[in-house]
């Protein structure tokens, strides 16, 4: 029997597989197609202080081995997420919940994190300083170390739950950003969010997406994500949730060898809604194939 369990800042996970925020709704939507209690955890839809309709359509462009999105943080707002969405998820789901928070100012991050910190059903807060699809806030917080440190310090002051900062790959030096998270007192790091991308429609000769540029994700970005997880693991002592192009059990193992303590699955949920279930089911046999007894033992092994 192999051991597929892991943990994040003291939060125990039955397995490392977590649907990434924005690709799995508030979780309960997927319970109609499989029992979501098999998941390691769920990172629910990114939430802002106010409800948001999101960006104009089209918001999605297909690409080779991936897709570009520009959703624009569509969500019902923090109060409704707390009063309706999380309680609805809890009626059917017993495993850890990760709440993903976005903002347009430090005050907004602080207000939302303080509110979500008071929700007993939330286990981890993922602070998204990396959304590429809003003109203010979002990724603009995640591209400068001093901004990342300031947001981290501010939310840490009003929270007691583990704080994971979700980073953008759209920077020249991911290590300096990760160090700023550590300096600010973060409990962990989620990386990577989407990489900026563009498609042009040959018929209209205009960008496919109404907002023109969006965030590129999917299998094509896996080596980029893996490289950044590897670099960040070497530079900081914080646990990492590895994200980016993960589509199979082998990818999960690679991410953990690079240094991830758990792994989020994003765009693959949109290609195959059973992706997380299939990965979890396949993990034991892939571990046996590569003579891995316990996933916890292989975290960062590629660095030895
Ligand atoms: C979006 O809502 O536009 C995507 C969220 C993100 O990339 O952080």
CATH number at residue 104: 3.20.20.70
Determine, yes or no, domain membership for 204.
Answer: no
**Grouped pLDDT means (10 residues each) for the chain, 304 residues:** 97 98 98 98 98 98 98 98 98 98 96 98 97 82 95 98 98 98 98 98 98 98 98 98 98 99 98 98 98 98 96
Both tokens of 100, joined, read: 């993903």
CA 13 to ligand 1 center in whole angstroms:
25
Q: How far apart are CA 126 and CA 164, in angstroms?
A: 5
Overall number of domains in the chain: 1
pLDDT of residue 266: 98
DSSP code for 129: -
CA 234 to ligand 1 center in whole angstroms:
27
Determine, yes or no, domain membership for 203.
Answer: no
Determine, yes or no, domain membership for 249.
Answer: yes
Task: Please enumerate in sequence order all residues whose Cβ is within 8 A of that of 29, keeping only pairs 6 or more positions apart, or say none.
Answer: none
Determine, yes or no, domain membership for 61.
Answer: no
Determine, yes or no, domain membership for 212.
Answer: no
Query: b/e map of 146-167 (b: 16 or more CB within 10 Å)?
Result: ebbbbbbebbbeebebbbbbbb
pLDDT of residue 177: 98
pLDDT of residue 133: 87
Say how many residues make up the chain.
304
Residue to substitute in 48, 101, 138 for testing ligand 1 pocket (most ligand atoms within 8 angstroms of CB): 138
Q: How far is CA 123 from CA 13, 119, 168, 199, 241, in A?
A: 11, 9, 23, 38, 14
By CB neighbour count within 10 A (0-12 exposed, 13-18 middle, 19+ buried), where does 102 fall? buried
> Which residues does ligand 1 sit against, CB inside 6 Å?
22, 46, 69-73, 128, 130-133, 193-194, 215
Among residues 29, 4, 16, 15, which one has the least CA distance to residue 270? 29
pLDDT of residue 137: 78
DSSP code for 270: H
pLDDT of residue 301: 98
Residue 45 belongs to domain spanning: 6-54+73-196+217-303
Q: How far apart are CA 109 and CA 130, in angstroms?
A: 13
Determine, yes or no, domain membership for 59.
Answer: no
Q: How far apart are CA 38 and CA 40, in angstroms?
A: 7
pLDDT of residue 192: 98
Determine, yes or no, domain membership for 28.
Answer: yes
Determine, yes or no, domain membership for 202.
Answer: no
Residue to substitute in 194, 218, 266 for testing ligand 1 pocket (most ligand atoms within 8 angstroms of CB): 194
CA 237 to ligand 1 center in whole angstroms:
27
Q: How far apart are CA 32 and CA 21, in angstroms?
A: 19
């Amino acid at each position: 029997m192999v051991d597929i369990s892991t943990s994040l800042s003291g939060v125990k996970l039955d397995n490392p597989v977590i649907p990434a925020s924005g690709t799995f709704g508030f979780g309960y939507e997927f319970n109609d197609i499989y029992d979501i209690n098999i998941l390691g955890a769920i990172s629910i839809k990114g939430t802002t202080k106010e409800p948001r309709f999101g960006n104009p359509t089209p918001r999605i462009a297909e690409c080779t081995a991936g897709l570009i999105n520009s959703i624009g943080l569509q969500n019902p707002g923090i109060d409704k997420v707390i009063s309706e969405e999380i309680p609805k998820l809890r009626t059917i789901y017993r495993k850890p919940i990760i709440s993903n928070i976005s903002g347009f100012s430090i005050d907004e991050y602080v207000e939302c994190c303080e509110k979500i910190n008071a929700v007993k059903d939330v286990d981890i807060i993922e602070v998204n300083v990396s959304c590429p699809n809003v003109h203010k806030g979002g990724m603009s917080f995640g591209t400068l170390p001093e901004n990342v440190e300031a947001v981290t310090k501010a939310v840490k002051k009003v929270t007691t739950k583990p704080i994971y900062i979700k980073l953008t790959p759209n920077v020249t030096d991911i290590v300096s950003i990760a160090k700023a998270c550590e300096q600010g007192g973060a409990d962990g790091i989620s990386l990577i969010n989407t990489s900026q991308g563009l498609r042009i429609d040959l018929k209209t000769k205009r960008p496919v997406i109404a907002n023109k540029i969006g965030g590129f994700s999917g299998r094509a970005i896996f080596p980029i994500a893996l490289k950044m997880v590897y670099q960040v693991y070497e530079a900081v002592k914080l646990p990492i949730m590895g994200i980016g192009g993960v589509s199979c059990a082998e990818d999960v193992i690679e991410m953990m060898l690079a240094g991830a303590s758990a792994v989020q699955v994003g765009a693959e949920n949109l290609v195959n809604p059973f992706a997380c279930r299939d990965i979890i089911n396949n993990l034991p046999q892939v571990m046996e194939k590569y003579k891995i007894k316990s996933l916890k033992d292989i975290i960062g092994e590629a660095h030895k």
